[in-house]
Structure 1
């Protein structure tokens, strides 16, 4: 199962964390894992390409299945960064609705 967390501070997204594997299908055929991976990596790439906001990213590149991204205070105030992060949250929420056995999404206030 994939576990995703969106961290909010003062109603703004300040970080997200994704871990695990869906187990929907064998590796290479798992549409749930693929969808979550594309959403997460596209969000990171878009923040890097379309904003000037520095961010911190942690990933388990050996085993895979883990990514945590944090934005600084200026990222919380930046409209483009927030739009991109809210788009990620919306996409993950949609996947959870359809494939709730394979993805849990939690929103935490920090």
Structure 2
């Protein structure tokens, strides 16, 4: 199962963490894992490409299945970053609705 957490502070997303594998299908054929991977990496790439907001990212590149991204205060204040992070939340919510045996999404206040 994939576990996704978005961290909020004062109703603004300040970090997200995704771990695990869906187990929906064999490796290379798992559409749930692929969808979550595409959403999360596209979000990080878009923030990097379209904003100047620095962030810290940690990933398990050997095994895969883990990504944590943390934004500084200026990232929380940047409307473009927030829009992209809300888009990530929207996409993950849709996946959770359709494939809730394979993905859980939580929002945690920090």
If the TM-score is normalised by the length of the shorter chain, which range does it land in? over 0.9
1:52 aligned onto 2:52: yes
In structure 1, the residue matched to 2:41 is: 41
Distance 2:55 2:85 in 1: 12
Structure 2 residues not aligned, in runs of 5+: none
Cα distance in 2 for residues equivalent to 1:80 and 1:12: 12
**How far has the Cα of 1:25 moved from its partner?**
0.2
Quote the residue 1:2 is aligned against: 2
Q: What runs of 5+ residues in structure 1 fail to find an aligned partner?
A: none
Specify the SS of the correspondent of 1:21.
coil
Q: Cα offset for 1:93? A: 0.4
Q: Is it true that 1:75 corresponds to 2:75 in the alignment?
A: yes
What is the aligned-residue RMSD (CA, Å)?
Answer: 0.3
Aligned counterparts, 1:1-110, within 5 A: 1-110=1-110
Instruction: Calculate the TM-score normalised by the size of structure 1.
Output: 0.99
Mapped partners of 1:44, 1:9: distance in 2:
19
Instruction: Tell me the TM-score normalised to structure 2 length.
Output: 0.99
Q: Give the C-alpha shift of residue 53 in structure 1.
A: 0.1
